[in-house]
Amino acid sequence: MTTSGEAARFVIHEHYARSHHFDLRLERDGVLVSWAVPRGMPTDPARNRLAVRVEDHDLDHIDFVDPTPVGTAQGTAVAKSIWDHGHYRTVKWEPTKIVVDLAGSRISARYAIFHTNGNQWMVHLMGV
């Protein structure tokens, strides 16, 4: 079990499926708690990004890559790649609000993920 303050792993997959999006996955209680983030993680604290809660994934998915080539507007890409990965610390984990400090190779910042409606959440950059 991962509790407040303990370091756990995270991964952000870049995923070409029905639409190009990113998947944020946080290790918690033996699974990867997951959201599809259509426009990627926010880089501006003034602009939140939609995050759609999806099913939890098995822990072995943390390093999963699907090398199947897919055509994109920019050329060819792999179906699913690791965009960033690292560890995070939990600041707050409540049913409708999560605050984490991500420490990855691309992202090192505090994010809040908060529930809005149904399976819809928002991701907010709190600070770097």
Phi and psi torsions of 11, nearest 5°: -145, 145
Q: Which domain holds residue 95?
A: 7-127
What percent of the chain has pLDDT above 90?
78
pLDDT beyond 90 at 4: no
Whether 50 maps to a domain, the answer reads: yes
Whether 2 maps to a domain, the answer reads: no
Whether 105 maps to a domain, the answer reads: yes
In eight-state DSSP terms, residue 1 is: -
Give pLDDT tens digits for 56-70.
Answer: 999 999 999 988 877
pLDDT of 106 reads 97
Whether 123 maps to a domain, the answer reads: yes
Whether 107 maps to a domain, the answer reads: yes
Q: Which of 32, 25, 30 is nearest to 1 (CA)?
A: 30
Whether 20 maps to a domain, the answer reads: yes
Whether 1 maps to a domain, the answer reads: no
What percent of the chain has pLDDT above 70?
91
Whether 63 maps to a domain, the answer reads: yes
Q: How many domains would you assign to the chain?
A: 1
